């Protein structure tokens, strides 16, 4: 059965980021992310969380990994035991492979040593540049934040929002499309005759587990997040009205528009955190660029064109 959702995307607020992400931020280096954790003696490591043969993951390593994640990702992982256990299995498998590689002297292979040196240089370069491109703690000021907000005000418009409830009936290979259509049409007639009973009908008949227990409510969202067939119908509904049965690729939907909000401009308070982060990233990039340009200006730069041509030929 295809996913019985009304949505085709995520995110209601169209926010134009002021600055591109700074490539020097920690974690942006894919090579750095692959570096093995530092060795910890058994007496320092604490109890093992997981084991595979000679390999184990202790509390110290796991806590270190969690601490390195963004706060939002860390909280999501804490609440997702399956994802955490998948990471544990993957990390143990990686350690087992590295053990085999070390037993065969793989780290001493010339091509591996060359890549290791290159990765180390990138890590040192990135971390040092972070140290010399720190943004002052008081940046941006209230005036600078207000100026950035005002200059991009046309970008901070949120689209009209629609709160839609649905009764969803799936169609799969074992069912007749006509039979499901007739059931959806009957549910539509019942809901149109008594709109107040829509939530009870959704809880009883809807096959979308994500919304059925909420009376079919899928929350506020812009039209562009709805599947095309649903989008077209919702745009014509009045608040409180119930639609006829609507067919999509996944099945049939009976829709009720429960609320609608017009387009509006997001306030500075709503954007303050993201705008502050974007401005700080932009300033850090500017400081790093100025530092690199200063390094080039401290001595005479010369390029041997003839030697360069021999490489390009």
Task: State whether the Cα torsion 97-98-101-103 is positive or negative.
Answer: negative
Q: Is residue 115 pLDDT above 60, yes or no?
A: yes
Q: Is 250 exposed, middle or buried (0-12, 13-18, 19+ CB in 10 A)?
A: buried
Residue 78: what pLDDT?
A: 82
Which residues contact residue 145 at a Cβ distance below 8 angstroms, ignoring those fewer than 6 apart? 268, 272, 275, 276, 279
Neighbours of 73 (CB within 10 A): 11
Which stretches does DSSP call E strand in the chain?
A: 48-52, 55-58, 157-158, 161-170, 217-222, 246-247, 251-261, 264-265
Predicted confidence band at 298 (pLDDT cuts at 50, 70, 90)? confident
260-291 confidence digits (pLDDT tens): 999 999 999 999 999 999 999 999 999 999 99
Which residues contact residue 140 at a Cβ distance below 8 angstroms, ignoring those fewer than 6 apart? 148, 276, 279, 280, 283
Which residues constitute the domain of residue 188? 160-262
Q: What is the mean pLDDT of residues 20-24?
A: 28
10-20 confidence digits (pLDDT tens): 332 222 222 22
Domain count, the chain: 3
Residue 11: what pLDDT?
A: 32
Q: Let me know the angle formed at the C-alpha of 221 by 217 and 223, rounded to the nearest 5 degrees.
A: 115
Q: How far is CA 153 from the centre of its chain?
A: 25
Q: Which residue has the higher pLDDT, 28 or 242?
A: 242
Q: What is the mean pLDDT of residues 219-230?
A: 93
The end-to-end CA distance of the chain, in Å, is: 58
138: DSSP letter: T
Q: Let me know the angle formed at the C-alpha of 258 by 255 and 263, rounded to the nearest 5 degrees.
A: 110
User: Same structural domain for residues 175 and 217?
Assistant: yes
User: Same structural domain for residues 192 and 253?
Assistant: yes
59-96 confidence digits (pLDDT tens): 999 899 888 888 888 888 888 889 889 989 999 999 99
User: Same structural domain for residues 173 and 93?
Assistant: no
User: Same structural domain for residues 198 and 165?
Assistant: yes
Does residue 177 fall inside a structural domain?
Answer: yes
Does residue 53 fall inside a structural domain?
Answer: yes
Q: Is 218 exposed, middle or buried (0-12, 13-18, 19+ CB in 10 A)?
A: buried
User: Same structural domain for residues 255 and 232?
Assistant: yes
User: Same structural domain for residues 219 and 237?
Assistant: yes
């Amino acid at each position: 059965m295809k996913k019985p959702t009304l949505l085709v995307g995520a995110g209601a607020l169209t926010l134009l980021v002021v600055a591109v992400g700074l490539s020097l931020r920690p974690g942006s280096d894919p090579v750095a992310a692959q570096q093995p954790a530092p060795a910890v003696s058994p007496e320092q490591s604490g109890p093992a969380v997981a084991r595979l043969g000679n390999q184990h993951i202790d509390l110290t390593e796991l806590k270190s990994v969690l601490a390195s994640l963004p706060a939002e990702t860390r909280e999501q992982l804490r609440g997702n035991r399956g994802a955490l256990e998948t990471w544990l299995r993957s990390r143990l498998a990686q350690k087992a492979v590295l053990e085999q590689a070390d037993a065969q002297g793989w780290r001493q292979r010339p091509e591996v040593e060359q890549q290791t040196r290159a990765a180390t240089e990138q890590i040192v370069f990135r971390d040092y540049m972070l140290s010399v491109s720190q943004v002052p703690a008081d940046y941006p000021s209230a005036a600078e934040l207000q100026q950035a907000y005002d200059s991009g005000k046309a970008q901070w418009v949120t689209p009209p929002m629609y709160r839609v409830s649905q009764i969803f009936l799936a169609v799969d290979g074992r069912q007749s499309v006509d039979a499901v259509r007739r059931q959806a049409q009957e549910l539509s007639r019942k809901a149109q005759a008594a709109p107040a009973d829509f939530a009870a009908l959704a809880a009883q008949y809807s096959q979308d587990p994500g919304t059925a227990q909420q009376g079919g409510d899928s929350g506020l969202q812009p039209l562009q997040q709805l599947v095309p067939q649903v989008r077209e119908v919702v745009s014509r509904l009045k608040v409180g009205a119930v639609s006829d049965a609507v067919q999509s690729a996944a099945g049939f939907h009976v829709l009720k528009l429960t609320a609608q909000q017009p387009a509006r401009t997001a306030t500075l308070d709503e954007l303050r955190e993201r705008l502050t982060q974007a401005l700080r990233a932009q300033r850090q990039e500017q400081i790093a660029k100025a530092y690199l340009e200063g390094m080039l200006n401290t001595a005479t730069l010369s390029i041997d064109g003839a030697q360069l041509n021999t490489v390009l030929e």
